[in-house]
Amino acid sequence: MVVVGSANVDYLISVDRRPVPGETVMARGLRTLGGGKGANQAFAAALAGAEVHFVACVGDDALGEQRMAELASVGVRTALVRRAAGSLTGLAFITVTPDGENDIIVAPGANAALGREDVDAAAHLLAGPCVLLAQLEVPHPATARAIELAGPQARVVLNLSPWRRLPAELLGRVDVLVVNEVEAAAMWGSPVGTVAEAMEAGRALRGAGPSAVVVTLGAAGAVAVADGLEEHVPSPPVEVVDTTGAGDAFAGALAARRALGYDLLEAVRYGAAMGSATTSRLGAQAVAPGTSSLSC
Ligand code: RIB
């Protein structure tokens, strides 16, 4: 499978509470960890057993090198990751409170340099039977080009995160659209919080083009809506430490399962398990062996 997306270094700051404007609070701890929605999804997909080719752009700095080495250590193929000369690797500043909730500010750095030519380098893979997994944390032309290059045998899994309105022709090429409650509500135009609302949103969003829609609901699991399928899949219960990257783990594992030939429902179950497991530890690539961290 091919993952096209962002790669960041996450500065994960644990706090008792977030400051109000103008206030300073002391952190409980700081870790630097691998992040970026694309990299997180590639990581999860590799752990789920898929052969993953990652298309991304990092800076020509040590942080970029280190993160790519980490991805490679779990089997992600990084030959299509470009080191953009003179750029810094993307950074994300994440605060996590004791309830596991986070907020994130991303400085895109080299991710902003990912272009159509980078994606063209994966054209030979996308032309064949493969799964393309994309998100929206890189410039739109790169995502659009990847979907455009996906041939008739390719299946497109699109995680609409961070939310952005997409042209109908792109959504029409999507096999599985993965959105969380916030993204589903933004696209649908009504709030999504319950399983029933997610189901209704899923039906409505299918009307925008994708063959199947999966709406994730955090601890409440996910719903899948496709031809002849309307199912709520609960999340395995877990003691939540940090929800960062749970949606990425879900999408990566789901796409990997599809690439390995499993049906949509089984893929959603696996995604829910991986997403849930990720929340039990700090960091977006928490389930992965070999994730390094620096503590202070
Ligand atoms: O989805 C979580 C990710 O969002 C983090 O890893 C951060 O890098 C941002 O991309």
**33 CA closest ligand 1 atom index:** 6
Sheet of 176-180, strand order: 81-84, 53-59, 2-4, 131-134, 155-159, 176-180, 212-216, 222-226, 229-233
Phi first, then psi: give them for residue 233, nearest 5 degrees: -110, 115
Give per-residue pLDDT as tens, 70-89: 999 999 999 999 999 999 99
For the chain, how many structural domains are there in total?
1
Cβ contact 149:134 at 8 Å: no
Q: How far is C-alpha 116 from the geometric centre of its chain's CA atoms? A: 20
**244 CA closest ligand 1 atom index:** 2
The verdict on residue 283 lying in a domain is no
- Round to whole Å and give the CA distance between 147 and 37: 17
C-alpha distance from residue 100 to each of 46, 85, 272 (Å) = 25, 36, 17
**40 CA closest ligand 1 atom index:** 6
pLDDT higher than threshold 90 for residue 124: yes
Q: Whose CA is nearest to atom 7 of ligand 1?
A: 36
Burial of 149 (0-12, 13-18, 19+ CB in 10 A): buried
The verdict on residue 260 lying in a domain is yes
Mutating to test ligand 1, I would choose from 13, 135, 137, 180 the residue with most ligand atoms within 8 A of its C-beta, which is 137
The verdict on residue 194 lying in a domain is yes
Q: How confident is the model at residue 287 (pLDDT cuts 50, 70, 90)?
A: confident
How many A from CA of 130 to the centre of ligand 1? Answer: 25
How many A from CA of 145 to the centre of ligand 1? Answer: 22
The verdict on residue 86 lying in a domain is no
What is the span of the domain harbouring residue 144? Answer: 37-56+112-278
Torsion of CA 199, 268, 159, 224, to 10 degrees: -20
The verdict on residue 122 lying in a domain is yes
- Alpha-helical runs (H) found in 90-234: 116-120, 123-126, 140-149, 168-171, 181-188, 195-206
- Round to whole Å and give the CA distance between 130 and 110: 27
Indicate the length of the chain as a whole number: 296
Give the active site residue among 10, 118, 242, 248.
248
Torsion of CA 3, 45, 236, 248, to 10 degrees: -30
Ramachandran area for residue 221 (φ above 0: left; ψ -120 to 50: alpha; else beta): left
Cβ contact 246:282 at 8 Å: no
Write the CATH number for 223: 3.40.1190.20
Is 263 annotated as catalytic?
no
How many A from CA of 41 to the centre of ligand 1? Answer: 10
The verdict on residue 24 lying in a domain is no
pLDDT higher than threshold 90 for residue 32: yes
How many A from CA of 12 to the centre of ligand 1? Answer: 10
Q: Kindly state the helix (H) or strand (E) to which residue 83 belongs, with its residue range.
A: strand 81-84
pLDDT higher than threshold 50 for residue 279: yes
**34 CA closest ligand 1 atom index:** 6
Q: What mean pLDDT do residues 90-107 have? A: 96
pLDDT higher than threshold 50 for residue 296: no
Q: Whose CA is nearest to atom 6 of ligand 1?
A: 35
How many A from CA of 71 to the centre of ligand 1? Answer: 15
pLDDT mean across residues, the chain: 95
Which two structure tokens, joined as six digits, stand for 245? 């990257």
pLDDT higher than threshold 90 for residue 16: yes
Q: What is the DSSP letter of 41?
A: H
Q: Specify the pLDDT at position 285.
A: 93
Q: How many other β-carbons are positioned within 10 Å of the β-carbon of residue 85?
A: 9
Who lines ligand 1 at CB under 6 A? 6, 8, 10, 35-37, 40, 92, 104, 106, 137, 244-245, 248, 284
Mutating to test ligand 1, I would choose from 31, 43, 244, 282 the residue with most ligand atoms within 8 A of its C-beta, which is 244
- What pTM was computed for the model? 0.95
- Round to whole Å and give the CA distance between 269 and 137: 25
**8 CA closest ligand 1 atom index:** 8
Q: Specify the pLDDT at position 286.
A: 83
pLDDT higher than threshold 50 for residue 295: no
How many A from CA of 35 to the centre of ligand 1? Answer: 5
The verdict on residue 17 lying in a domain is no
DSSP states of 238-272: ---S--TTHHHHHHHHHHHHHHTT--HHHHHHHHH
Q: Specify the pLDDT at position 294.
A: 25
The verdict on residue 69 lying in a domain is no
